Amino acid sequence: RASFGLDFGRKLWDPELAFDPKKFTNPQLKITWDEDVANTSCAENSIMVIAHIFDEATPAPTGFLMTKELYTYSPSANAHEYIDLPTDYPIRKLLMRSHQEERTFTQMLAEIKLSEDNDKRVPLDVLGDELFWQIKRTYPEYIENVYMVIGTTDTEFRVTPSEDAVIIGSKTSTVAGLMLIFQNGGLAKGKCETAAETIYMMCKGYIPHGYAAIPFGDPDITENWYDVTKIGSLILRLKAGPSLGSSPTTQVIAQQLRKYAA
């Protein structure tokens, strides 16, 4: 079972930022999924949507957090890509994903530059490894538990952290060897020495799902966020790394503050 949360506020029950359907005409939620990819060996699939709704409380939100995929492309090794970012609403957070199994984040993204009005101001100009170290200082490790059967031959599985991950596991019955290897990009392998067993594992690391997040100011204070409405153009330049693997894809996502009309 997998779950995904779509946040419209800074936290659950945020009275200032929340999605108010009364502000729109016939709002709809569209979900696109592929059951063959999601559950290869599952006989029956199902999907459930749960909404957290203010009941007796009557907040008056002034806006909501709008999260959108802005751009996706297939990078070439050592090549630059120039991406026009929106300047209609303040940006709370920018996320970039250039993910490939058995590749590190810095192998996929070598340079990141953010330019206002043809370099009149450059808020960000870093190497991929520099950004990664800043992320490690800003965000805690992502920690998850994994329970699955590991066989006597190499058993592949995937974990959420894609960088600097550590996996430890314990067996439940047979006193024999257990091997666990993290191979970057969220790919891991395991092998039991004598018999297949359900292994209880804990994994911790960084860059969950291959996404690197750049926050703009204090995430809880709206006045701190990146007000791009005052500039003419905003360009994100990404330089791909030297070792991309096969069929790589890079995505750029922005989380913006969208105010309701007065």
Strands (E), the chain: 63-73, 80-84, 91-99, 109-116, 121-127, 142-150, 155-158, 161-170, 178-182, 187-192, 197-208, 211-215, 234-240, 249-259
CA 229 remoteness from chain centre:
25
Residue 247's pLDDT band (cuts 50, 70, 90): confident
CA 182 remoteness from chain centre:
19
Question: Residue 26 carries which side chain, given as an amino acid letter?
Answer: N
Residue 40's pLDDT band (cuts 50, 70, 90): low
121-130: average pLDDT: 95
148-161: average pLDDT: 92
- Which residues, in sequence order, are CB contacts of 146 under 8 Å at separation 6+? 157, 159, 167, 200, 201, 202, 203
Helix/strand/coil percent split, the chain, to 5? 10, 40, 45
Q: Determine whether 133 is exposed, middle or buried from the number of CB atoms within 10 Å of its CB (0-12, 13-18, 19+).
A: exposed
Residue 175's pLDDT band (cuts 50, 70, 90): low
CA 27 remoteness from chain centre:
25
Residue spans of the domains in the chain: they are 66-262
Q: Are 203 and 161 contacting, i.e. CB atoms less than 8 angstroms apart?
A: yes
| Residue showing tokens 């920690």 | 143
Q: What is the model's pLDDT at position 99? A: 86
141-164: average pLDDT: 92
Q: What is the model's pLDDT at position 42? A: 65
Paired residues of 63 in beta bridges: 17, 259
* Least confident interval from 7-16, 62-71, 73-82, 177-186: 177-186
Q: Give yes or no for residue 235 having a pLDDT over 90.
A: yes
Residue range 79-99, pLDDT digits in tens: 999 999 999 999 999 999 998
Q: Is 33 helix (H, G, I), strand (E, B) or coil?
A: coil
Q: What is the model's pLDDT at position 1? A: 66
Residue (of 133, 89, 128) closest to 107 by Cα position: 128
Percent residues over pLDDT 90 in the chain: 73
* Token pair belonging to 215: 């926050």
* Least confident interval from 146-150, 170-174, 193-197, 222-226: 170-174
CA atoms within 13 A on the CB side of 51: 9
CB atoms < 10 A from the CB of 127, how many? 14
Q: Give yes or no for residue 5 having a pLDDT over 70.
A: yes
33-36, long-range: CB < 8 A, 24+ apart: none
* Least confident interval from 32-46, 159-173, 181-195: 32-46
Residue 57's pLDDT band (cuts 50, 70, 90): confident
Strands (E), 47-160: 63-73, 80-84, 91-99, 109-116, 121-127, 142-150, 155-158
Q: Give yes or no for residue 241 having a pLDDT over 80.
A: yes
32-49: average pLDDT: 73
Q: Give yes or no for residue 41 having a pLDDT over 70.
A: no
Q: Give yes or no for residue 74 having a pLDDT over 70.
A: yes
Question: Residue 179 carries which side chain, given as an amino acid letter?
Answer: M
The CATH number of 66-262 is 2.60.120.730
